[in-house]
Amino acid sequence: MANRLNRNNVDESAEDIHNDVSQLADTLEEVLKSWGQRCER
């Protein structure tokens, strides 16, 4: 059976992507803070 995209699927996918990007941004922020602390030593 073909996988049809409907509005709900698109909205859910967009929300998943948004959550993933937010998590990546948080992780990147933590890494940069960690590197900044190492450079201060």
- Whether the model clears a pTM of 0.85, i.e. scores above it, the answer is no
Calpha distance 28→41 (Å, rounded)? 20
* One-letter amino acid for residue 7 of the chain: R
pLDDT tens for the 41 residues of the chain, in order: 456 668 888 889 999 999 999 999 999 999 999 998 888 76
